[in-house]
Chain A
């Protein structure tokens, strides 16, 4: 017998890991500094215990080179983040924490199974070897389904988009920056680490990812425009943008490996930094009054425009990397996805308009002299740093996709593609504002149907004993299970059942 190496030993730096590692380190760093300035005394120990564990996992995951190390870092980050989501211990944040934890535990199950099967097939725990042995092994489709299923839950794909707004809405600003900017990008990293790109054998899976990704992009945009809280809008926007990342991964499965890898990395960096900046700005707008509030809101235009993909912004670079990858995809999936891309930008622009409207109309708190304090100035410098990163990082990143985008930057057709969604939404916003005084009411609760998971969890817990006499409760949903357990525990039944099983076993075995 041979045993694949055990233990946490395989950390290493490769180009993909370096890019993601740099992104994660920057975002967790910014988020941490902001948390240092905003988390109030008395909560600090609780906050940092979870934050630092999550940060260790969230940064280490980029450098993990084998299955066990990868799973360890991933799990450390995901489980520790519960403490960040539930930080305020309010009813809503505890509920968000419970649902987050449930979804996390459920999503790690297929990931673990996929890793186990891949290691068994490859005879090695090395991620690169596992990827290579996937095609041609007997379990290709099974592993693809498991990995994509797990990632889809992680990044809030179609149907489960609510998990991102639900967690972001109740998480303190100093942590939500990291969750939205870095944690969710681990889903993108997982796709690069576990899915074999450019093999030519997984075209159908690629097309499926492209379709699912684009569908997520549009549906999440609609949900986001209809939701009620500015942070939830950003959450739905994340789900929508992660849909584009899934599309990019689909392009890798069905087309060219290098172009798609570039697209996934570029899009992750762009979106990670822009989202971090948006959450910082949102918190500043909320904490400020007077003209400073207006200034903060105005500064938010930079990351918002970047997210939409306006010319010369980071989103412009990332979009072109994505276009390049989609051009390598043959067949209708590639063609239609390229046609739909500008409409995705329209959705993003609408989300940003909704975000601006909701965050500006959020009721202002009383002026408590916060703006005169040192820490308030420091908050602004953190926000300014993030703005600089949004403006510059994607251009300065040492990678090929920058050249491709630079070639397209002054091309009139591509400029127009990038500009018209912004103009349409701007015009529509002006129109709506002119026609009605109050903002559009929201109908989608942050988290949409996923809030019901909490009720589902409760059916498993026995009701606590109450002192007041009550009418007889309806039988619990799993009563048959307890009842069958009562029957099974009697010795007579147990013995007879076992003897029957044994006879059946002998009969079964003697046939074969």
Chain B
């Protein structure tokens, strides 16, 4: 039963938000934040027992022979912990950001449903359960993308649905085909398909391809990335949590499960499916980075950066070496906290100063020093400057790649330089001399500022504690170790 709570609690929050209506803002915020904090605590407790080796699991029969199964293992819990705890922060931010808009009840309700689905994706114990939550995530996101109701938002929403549901169909076919070939398999560290007849090579390769097609949409692999930059029309909290943390990471997380716990690193390598995936991911990294260099719209620049950074996860996973796989899992968590800092900042700049363009950022650091300082911390972390969080995932990825695929080490090292290339101009512009009127005051609404400071602190703290067992990096290493024969000192 415990294992259901990370999914049920946000669902409860959604029901309450819908039933509280559009007027009672304070009550809705209080309830949502309380439940978000409670859900974070539950995930923490589950993780504590998972670290001890006791994994909670649960299942419920949907139809005879088709159970919905969840298991709170370390890998899933890391993703759930990131999504749930950042949800709590985002709710505070959103209550400040959306203070003048309508339909906030609908917004918070679907927001909570997204988190429930994300936690379902994280804790799903088998491909079918994964598929179901993956699809509900696609649907629950739609009202948030079109939240503003403008024609541009509606067009983007349609585009998003085509991408997401198209990918979903591929996933559905893949899951059904897999079940017909291998029976009802559960995710197992190191691979669940060990018993499948080797004569099924072509089928297994095709199923892998279909899974990647479905997961590649959300994890924005080129050429399936088109929806993500367009989706930046959504309000900042949506970009922050869904397009940096929950939705896109559901795709990347799916690839981690697929390679490490469904096929297993050995089978994925011997089938020859890992290498092409690695190549696509590497192309995506370079492509996203180069396009990001030329974006003047701040959120679009961040979106292309996300496209590149998500493929760090895919590439690290597809390399099938232990350290690269650990780096990929760590990057899933660390990129989330860095990118959410940046999207919060972008939203805050828009809300407070009506700035959306990089070329209009001159001197904003003098007007909003704490906000832009947080942005700088996250940007430098993303570029892999130690001792900030992003360095350690990149380090593991690069070292892991160097054991077999040195070319991938260069991709990681080079994309660090690209990241500097599209982040440094922002930082340098922001500290120019400016003519901001000091009477305008400094910083922004505290409900916007404090969440930014909280996540920025995470960038620093998670970097400094990277050497310990229970920070995101140590957690990621322990979560992936079972797929590679356990951890040796």
Contacts and interface: CB of A to CB of B under 8 A. Distances in A.
Interface of A: 1-9, 68, 71-72, 75, 79, 89, 98, 101, 105-106, 108-110, 112-113, 116-117, 119-121, 139, 142, 460-462, 464, 478, 481-482, 485, 488-491, 493-495, 497-498, 501-502, 505-506, 508-510, 512
A481 B292 CA distance: 11
B222 to A, nearest CB: 7
Contacts of B206: 506
Contacts, number: 162
B398 A490 contact: no
Given A68-B386, A109-B413, A485 B291 contact: yes
Contact of A119 (B293, B399, B406, B464): B399
Main secondary structure of the interface of A (DSSP, over half): helix
Contacts of A493: 223
A112 B400 CA distance: 13
B123 interface: no
Contacts of A117: 402, 406, 409
B183 interface: no
Given A7-B466, A505-B209, A506-B206, A113 B386 contact: no
Interface in B281-322: 290-291, 293-294, 296, 322
A1 B291 CA distance: 36
Nearest to B413: A113
Which of B290, B410, B484 is most buried by chain A, counting CB atoms within 10 A of its CB? B410
B163 interface: yes
A2 B425 contact: no
A355 B169 CA distance: 73
Interface in B201-247: 201-202, 205-206, 209-210, 212-213, 216, 222-226, 229-230
Nearest to A120: B402
Interface stretch (B47-55, B76-84, B415-423, B438-446): B415-423
Interface stretch (B12-20, B88-96, B130-138, B268-276): B268-276
B403 interface: yes
A508 B485 CA distance: 30
Main secondary structure of the interface of B (DSSP, over half): helix
Contact of B395 (A116, A481, A494): A116
Contact of B421 (A4, A460, A495): A460
B326 to A, nearest CB: 7
B293 A460 contact: yes
A118 to B, nearest CB: 8
19 contacts: A1-B480, A1-B487, A7-B464, A79-B385, A116-B409, A117-B402, A119-B402, A120-B323, A139-B402, A142-B406, A461-B425, A481-B290, A485-B291, A494-B223, A498-B213, A498-B223, A498-B224, A502-B213, A505-B276
B187 interface: no
Contacts of A4: 399
B204 to A, nearest CB: 9
Contacts of B273: 505, 509
B194 interface: no
Interface in B159-194: 159, 162-163, 166
Nearest to B270: A512
A9 B433 contact: no
A491 B163 contact: yes
A478 B295 CA distance: 12
Contacts of B271: 509
A217 B213 CA distance: 56
Given A1-B477, A72-B386, A139-B406, 16 more contacts: A1-B326, A1-B486, A1-B488, A108-B416, A112-B413, A113-B413, A120-B403, A120-B409, A460-B421, A461-B294, A481-B290, A498-B213, A505-B273, A508-B272, A509-B205, A509-B272
**When A and B form their complex, which 3 residue pairs have the shortest distance between CB atoms, in order from nearest?**
A7-B467, A1-B322, A489-B226
Contacts of A75: 385-386
Contacts of A2: 487-489
Which of B294, B380, B385, B466 is most buried by chain A, counting CB atoms within 10 A of its CB? B294
Contacts of B229: 489
B202 A510 contact: yes
A489 B230 contact: yes
Contacts of A495: 166
A141 to B, nearest CB: 12
Nearest to B221: A498
A101 B162 CA distance: 43
B387 interface: yes
Contacts of A494: 223-224, 226
Contacts of A112: 384, 398, 413, 416
A321 to B, nearest CB: 34
A212 B315 CA distance: 37
Which of B271, B402, B467, B481 is most buried by chain A, counting CB atoms within 10 A of its CB? B402
Given A462-B294, A481-B291, A502-B209, A105 B421 contact: yes
B417 A478 contact: no
Given A1-B488, A3-B477, A106 B294 contact: no
Contacts of B428: 98
A2 B205 CA distance: 30
Given A482-B294, A509-B272, A509-B273, A5 B223 contact: no
Nearest to B467: A7
Contact of B387 (A72, A485, A497, A512): A72
Which of A89, A489, A509 is most buried by chain B, counting CB atoms within 10 A of its CB? A509
A281 B424 CA distance: 35
B414 interface: yes
Contacts of B464: 7-8
B280 interface: yes
A120 B327 CA distance: 14
Contacts of A116: 395, 398-399, 401-402, 409, 412-413
Interface string B458-479: 0000001111100001000100
A16 B207 CA distance: 57
A473 to B, nearest CB: 15
Nearest to B432: A89
A6 B216 contact: no
